[in-house]
Structure 1
Amino acid sequence: MTHRFTLRVYYEDTDLAGIVYYANYLKFIERARSEWIRTLGVDQKAMKEETGTVFAVRRVEADYLSPARFDDELEVQTSTEAVTGARIILRQDVLRDGEVLFTAHVTIVAIAETGHPARLPANIRRQMH
């Protein structure tokens, strides 16, 4: 299953050349992940309150293929590549009119309030398959 999230590039997202500043792609894919998790019915705030478990980005491998520009409408596609007991690996692509501009493999881990690794709750693992 692929989740789709659309956004518009604002002036604040660009650099002096009028293209999206590279670090902002990480913000775009973060927003898309948050919305994806929400559509799965996962309440991250409740998860933290009930189990003390939160998600954290462990690793990002990104490729910048082509620039996005001011006022572009972008789509972020998020799909699950693997789910283990404590880790989720996602592929996230940022597209404009069907052209992939940016792609990333993102490893998300579950951590306890102590900062140590934690297992993903079983109901969440099932929802992500």
Structure 2
Amino acid sequence: MKIRVYYEDTDAGGIVYHTNYIKFCERARSEAFFSSNMMPAECENSGFVVRNINADFFATSKLGDILTVKSKVLKTKNTSLVLLQEIYKEETKVFSMEVVLVYIDKNGPKRIPQQFKELFLNFT
């Protein structure tokens, strides 16, 4: 997924504020659902929540840069999955994170529906 850096994404120094890289990754995950016409929030009052994020920063980005978010599944379990999401500016890796997502409903963790597992397995 391509993302352009806007003024609102930058800090006083003119570079992307560090937490916005996590936001860009969230946008990519959400876009996977939007483009497939599947919305986890509509599925029996259940959905994915972030349990853990491990992030690394490699380079900076600035206003106007075009970034690419790449994603892949590292591991799947019954109620959770681990994604690797990386952000590139052209060929340069800017940011990388592993995120653990847990599928829950009001009673706690719940088995991930097969169509959501397939969606993430085809996620790029």
Q: Quick check: TM above 0.5? A: yes
Instruction: Output aligned runs, 1:72-91, within 5 Å.
Output: 72-91=65-84
Instruction: Output aligned runs, 1:1-129, within 5 Å.
Output: 5-47=1-43, 51-114=44-107, 116-129=108-121
In structure 2, runs of 5+ residues without a counterpart are: none
Aligned-CA RMSD value: 1.5
Distance 2:63 2:120 in 1: 33
Would you say how many aligned residue pairs link Structure 1 and Structure 2? 121
Identity %: 32
Amino acid at match of 1:91: L
Q: Is the 8 A contact 1:85 1:125 kept in 2?
A: no
- State the shift of 1:67 in Å: 0.6
Distance 1:79 1:37 in 2: 15
Partner-residue secondary structure (3-state), 2:27: helix
Q: Which consecutive segments of 4 or more residues in structure 1 shift more than 6 A? A: none
Distance 1:26 1:7 in 2: 13
Distance 1:25 1:37 in 2: 19
Distance 2:86 2:110 in 1: 27
Amino acid at match of 1:71: G
Partner-residue secondary structure (3-state), 2:109: coil
- State the shift of 1:43 in Å: 2.2
In structure 1, runs of 5+ residues without a counterpart are: none
Amino acid at match of 1:120: I
Q: Is the 8 A contact 2:32 2:119 kept in 1?
A: no
